[in-house]
């Protein structure tokens, strides 16, 4: 097999920040590896000037900043539609220019992909207001097992070939101490890091594409985040 055929793609994403300790650690690790990622931040955290400054640093270093709801509470598909819309809208207002020009939104919630993440009214609102909804296909649950998650990350990324969207949590600084080793091992395995997303992980787009079947039914990998 030639070198090009052996290569595969990994997109790095980080949820639930910014964090005073975890996010700077992640940024330094990514800088050493010359990699760019997408950070899906909890909007309410940006009310703290120190955390807003960290988000601004991430953006200035070339990382994309996305919306991960205002409070990361009950999954939005299980809430009244007006509350769900408010969670996204208020978070985006706090992001301000950090969340532009492309508006990326990642819902929170465990289990298989489905309507518990985004209800029909919120989906319509997201389309009308120019959001792309970004999901995932590799979640090693680093926040639960800060020492053991690297092996699961490698297994899940391999299972998601040819394009893995890896969800990690910069809000878990102890777990992020192992990020460097994971990046080294992914690189050694032939992974090519990219900042985009495969179509299957972007089920809602501004132009109003219909949801693929993978959004309506469980997929084989652990999708909890």
| CA-closest candidate to residue 104, choices 68, 62, 77, 74 | 68
Residue 4 gets the label, from left (phi > 0), alpha (psi -120 to 50) or beta, of alpha
Q: Are strands 64-67 and 8-17 parallel, antiparallel or unpaired?
A: unpaired
In angstroms, the CA 224 to CA 200 distance is 16
* DSSP, res 212: P
d(CA 168, CA 97): 24
- The question of whether 169 is a catalytic residue gets the answer yes
Of 68, 169, 170, 222, catalytic: 169
To the nearest 5 percent, what fractions of the chain are helix, strand and coil? 45, 15, 40
Q: Is 146 exposed, middle or buried (0-12, 13-18, 19+ CB in 10 A)?
A: middle
49-60 and 22-33 helices, crossing angle to 10°: 10
Q: How many residues does the chain have?
A: 225
Catalytic position from the list 15, 19, 142, 222? 15
First to last CA, the chain: 35
- The yes-or-no answer on residue 15 being catalytic is yes
Catalytic residue positions, numbered = 15, 169
């Amino acid at each position: 097999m030639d070198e090009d055929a052996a290569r595969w793609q990994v997109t790095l994403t980080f949820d639930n920040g910014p964090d005073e300790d975890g996010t700077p650690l992640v940024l330094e690790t990514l800088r050493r590896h010359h990699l760019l990622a997408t950070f899906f931040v909890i909007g309410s955290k940006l009310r703290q000037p120190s955390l807003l400054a960290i988000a601004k640093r991430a953006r200035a270093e070339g990382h994309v900043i996305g919306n991960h709801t205002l409070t990361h509470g009950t999954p939005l598909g299980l809430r009244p539609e007006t509350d769900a819309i408010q969670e996204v809208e208020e978070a985006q207002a706090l992001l301000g220019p950090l969340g532009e020009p492309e508006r990326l939104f990642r819902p929170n919630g465990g289990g298989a992909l489905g309507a518990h993440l985004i209800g029909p009214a919120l989906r319509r609102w997201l389309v009308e207001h120019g959001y792309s909804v970004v999901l995932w296909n590799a979640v090693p649950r680093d926040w639960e097992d800060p020492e053991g998650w690297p092996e699961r990350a490698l297994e899940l990324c391999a299972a998601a070939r040819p394009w893995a969207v890896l969800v990690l949590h910069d809000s878990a600084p102890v777990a992020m101490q192992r990020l460097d080793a994971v990046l080294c091992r992914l690189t050694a395995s032939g992974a090519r890091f990219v900042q985009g997303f495969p179509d299957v992980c972007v089920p809602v787009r501004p132009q109003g594409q219909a949801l693929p079947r993978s959004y309506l039914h469980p997929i084989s990998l652990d999708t909890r985040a």
